[in-house]
A and B are shown apart, each in its own frame.
Chain A
Amino acid sequence: DAKTTQPNSMESNEEEPVHLPCNHSTISGTDYIHWYRQLPSQGPEYVIHGLTSNVNNRMASLAIAEDRKSSTLILHRATLRDAAVYYCILRDPSGGSNYKLTFGKGTLLTVNP
């Protein structure tokens, strides 16, 4: 499986934008890039995913490099509720119904008031 590399931790101030990087230099042409986050003492929750083009939703934006070897999750205005571990995950859709996600250690985001 292609692997991802994320910083162990990052810090941000409330109401400022946050850019969470992810490197995936061995990504294959069919791998989707997924982001999940895990709030303290909760199960992970889906944030966003994309293949080649930048993606936006109500939670965040995903910027994907042209060569797809890296991506950045962007939280436009961090709130205290965004403090969580953020996971960048590659998913190979060729598994069909055997859809699986492989979680790394992720990035612990601290948001300062």
Chain B
Amino acid sequence: NAGVTQTPKFQVLKTGQSMTLQCAQDMNHNSMYWYRQDPGMGLRLIYYSASEGTTDKGEVPNGYNVSRLNKREFSLRLESAAPSQTSVYFCASRNFVLNEQFFGPGTRLTVL
């Protein structure tokens, strides 16, 4: 049982490049989330998916798109990366019964 996995662990992009952050969970959770964490700050919600086939904006969605590919996978895409998107990105899924969110190990993204 791997929990929530994220790829890649590290990535360096140049301004204007695009990339997709991948997230998968094997706990059969309906809800999944993408957060970003800037140095010294708490996590901020980018997008979430309450269930397969639905996605909604969070607090800071600008510059990002998401795809809920199936129940297991929730990807985050940066179409044209900017230095302001340098951050650590965390994916999470939610256990509906226990009301816990389970987080992945994070992707450290640097945009030059």
Contact = CB atoms under 8 A, between A and B. Distances in A.
A43 B50 contact: no
B64 interface: no
Provide the main secondary structure of the chain A interface. Answer: loop
Interface residues of A, number: 22
Nearest to B90: A43
A87 B56 CA distance: 24
A104 B42 contact: yes
A49 B94 CA distance: 14
Contacts, number: 54
Nearest to A34: B99
B44 A98 contact: no
B43 A103 contact: yes
Contacts of B106: 41-43
Contact of B100 (A46, A87, A100, A102): A46
- Among A42, A91, A103, A105: residue with most chain B CB under 10 A: A103
B58 A42 contact: no
B105 A42 contact: yes
A45 interface: yes
Interface of B: 4, 30-31, 33, 35, 40-45, 48, 50-51, 56, 58-59, 90, 92, 94, 99-106
